[in-house]
Amino acid sequence: MTQPETLLQVRNLKKYFPIRGGIFGKKVGDIKAVDNVSFTVNKGETLGIVGESGCGKSTTGRSILRLEEPTAGEVEFEDSLLNELNGEEMRRMRRKLQMVFQDPFASLNPRKTAGAIIEEPLTVHGIGEARERKEKVKELLQVVGLDAYHAERYPHQFSGGQRQRIGIARALAVRPKLVVADEPVSALDVSVQSQVLNLLEDLQEKFGLTYLFIAHDLSVVRHISDRVGVMYLGRMVELAERDTLYDNPLHPYTQALLSAVPVPNPDAERERIILTGDVPSPSDPPAGCAFHTRCPYVMDICREKRPEFQDQGDGHFVACHLMDE
Amino acid sequence: MAETLLELSRFKMHFHTDKGVVKAVDGVDITVDEGEIVGLVGESGCGKSVTSLSVMGLVPQPPGKVEGGSIKLSGRDLTRLKRKEWQRVRGNEVAMIFQEPMTSLNPVFTLGNQMVEAIRQHKEINKKEARQLARETLQEVGISRDGILDEYPHQLSGGMRQRVMIAMAMVCRPKLLIADEPTTALDVTIQAQILDLMRRLNRETNTAILMITHDLGVVAEMCDRIIVMYAGQVVEETDARRLFRNPQHPYTIGLLKSIPQLDRRLERLYSIPGNVPNPRQMPSGCRFVPRCEHALDICREKEPPLFSLEDGHTSRCWLNAEEKEEADRDTTGNTAPSS
């Protein structure tokens, strides 16, 4: 096997949102949405990021594309540091980095036709003549499984699954290298969800795309990803090859998360770990390991020292003090 | 054998709109026995929520209209109740919890305030006693922290709010709890807590639960019996084990094949071709026919009835009729020579 080529490298990414209070709107604290996250994405692979609401998975995706300005850290894409580009350079760079959003109802302009929506990125990046662009739009509609005549219709005339296809066509219009998909199938029914997942896989093969696939549904992430990272309270707690992570999870949080998923098989016998309590607030994360308040194996050191995110062999990264035992 | 608690027979709830009649629920038969957990599954627009709201008498009429059939709760037909009589049924005999607990709680009143009000609607007790009862019920659902009754809904997390909703629903010990997507808005670890709580309440109080969800994983773990709905009709019904092992209706089969699995990875997901039919223009014959791989001529012409297979397994598909005939022929063929 050849050494995989790195496409995206995220180093110590942080995104803090200030909390303002008092009559002068003085900063009184931070929401640590993303707190020191590092990972790499290889060319042509799908890296899945899972976690519960508020774990920072979406903010991570948005900070990479600089839809949110990162507070600290580096994002290296191909040979450039995205966080050091100026506005114009970043705008041009976005041709290579596109995003597919969760809500197919909110992410399409209701006053534009599907054709105009898909054409917009081409216009913005100055690709082709007007007529060529129209052709391109038709081609894209067919690629995502819609018909050319759909170009004249408005978003409200489409079903949820079809809208998500339009969102995908828009992202693909500029032939990006990396697509960040933020919960692309969460708003869809199961039968439509499988259609969109199959489409994403087909497109990846056809155009050699690299995906950063962000979702909360562990089964969906297992299906589509090559490697999977698990986030908890703004931190990456575990990252490994797909099957390694699902068959042999090392972090107690990953273990609990996997055991909590209801499985559509009444005969499955599983040991369920039911975590007590809720996720702590990211404005005041616990000291030491962020998971220590709910961890069944908590030790003294967990309350004091934040565990390092370390490779346990074969690219299986875990941030847990149990690994040092 | 447990007694039948809820029985919908040939129940139809249609909506009359300017653009035509929407047959949201079109001839549905559902029974729930005492102490049973029944799952009602289907995709958006299949009529599962309208069915549950009809049982609660919460469908506004008009535009809704009961076009036929009955809903019997402990033998009494709910479709004939007057508004006053409904108030005695709701809360006392049947209670409901919803997907998004925040929309069911009033943001400007404390939890204690809201719970006491609800309790005193149904029980003739004074405020102090009601408050005590509220505190006890909250403890039953695992909220025991002091001062909870003086908190406002926004101070609680999603999981806690759903616990409060369950407590409010359980306060009068209803015989039936309708749970409409109770864990869809929650994270998996919190979902596991809530499902665990619902199972425990079912065991301890013998409250029957009608669980409405699109998540086949949740029904597999919770339910004794599962009813699958498609385009306003029941298409298949059987016990949970059988449904996952031996589904009969092509829609159920397609649905089960299209979910990604957690414990193994399939190369490619199956997907049911096409989309759900427009509720104003249902296809003639079987409603699933435009998306069905096994469609026969008869499927396009005649609407299939619910065929009874063995052990209470029913399926609305002409293929089952064929198999049944074949099976009948086989048995007569086999018995003929021996006689």
Alpha carbon of B140: minimum distance to chain A alpha carbons (Å) = 16
Q: How far apart are CA B334 and CA B336, in angstroms?
A: 6
What pairing do the DSSP bridges indicate for beta strands B94-97 and A6-21? unpaired
Tell me what pLDDT residue B338 has. 40
Domains of chain B, first to last: 4-93+174-262+273-330 (3.40.50.300), 94-173 (no CATH)
| Whole-model pTM over 0.90 | no
List, in sequence order, every residue forming a beta bridge with A27; answer none if it has no partner.
Answer: A20
Mean pLDDT by 10 residues, chain B (339 residues): 84 86 88 92 86 88 85 87 84 86 85 89 87 87 82 84 86 89 82 87 90 89 91 91 90 89 76 79 85 86 86 87 66 45
User: Which is nearest to B269 in space by CA: A187, A49, A219?
Assistant: A219
C-alpha angle A235/A239/A245, rounded to 5°? 130
Q: How far apart are CA B205 and CA A56, in angstroms?
A: 40
Token couple for B221: 């773990």
For the stretch A166-217, pLDDT in tens is: 999 999 998 899 999 998 888 778 888 888 898 899 889 989 999 999 998 8
The answer to whether the CB atoms of B275 and A161 lie below 8 A apart is yes
On the CB side of A320, CA atoms within 13 Å amount to 26
Tell me what pLDDT residue B1 has. 57
Tell me what pLDDT residue B336 has. 42
Q: How far apart are CA A224 and CA A206, in angstroms?
A: 16
In this complex, the residue of A189, A256, A279 whose CB is nearest that of residue B44 is A189
In this complex, the residue of B220, B258, B265 whose CB is nearest that of residue A266 is B220
Kindly tell me if the per-residue pLDDT of A244 is higher than 50. yes
User: Which is nearest to B307 in space by CA: B322, B294, B295?
Assistant: B322
Token couple for B154: 């926004």
Domains of chain A, first to last: 6-96+176-324 (3.40.50.300)
The answer to whether the CB atoms of B192 and A260 lie below 8 A apart is yes
In terms of CA atoms, which chain B residue is nearest residue A201?
A: B268
For the stretch B49-84, pLDDT in tens is: 889 889 988 888 888 888 888 899 888 888 888 888
Tell me what pLDDT residue B326 has. 66
Which of B228, B262, B291, B293 should we substitute to test contact with A (largest number of A Cβ atoms within 10 Å)?
A: B262
Percent of chain A with pLDDT over 90: 41
C-beta atoms surrounding B205 within 10 Å: 14
End-to-end CA distance of chain A: 33
Alpha carbon of A94: minimum distance to chain B alpha carbons (Å) = 31
Contacts of B214 in chain A (CB under 8 A): 189-190
Token couple for B75: 């033998």
The answer to whether the CB atoms of B258 and A218 lie below 8 A apart is no
State how far the alpha carbon of A61 is from the alpha carbons of A46, A155, A173, B1, B131, in Å: 14, 25, 20, 55, 47
Secondary structure class of A322 (helix, strand, coil): helix
Contacts of B44 in chain A (CB under 8 A): 189
Q: How far apart are CA B300 and CA B153, in angstroms?
A: 52
Contacts of B252 in chain A (CB under 8 A): none
What would you report as the CA-atom Rg of chain A, rounded to the nearest whole angstrom?
A: 21
Chains A, B: CB contacts under 8 A, how many? 127
For the stretch A287-305, pLDDT in tens is: 899 999 989 998 999 999 9
Which of B144, B183, B187, B246 should we substitute to test contact with A (largest number of A Cβ atoms within 10 Å)?
A: B187
The answer to whether the CB atoms of A159 and B221 lie below 8 A apart is no
Confidence of residue A24 (pLDDT cuts 50, 70, 90): confident
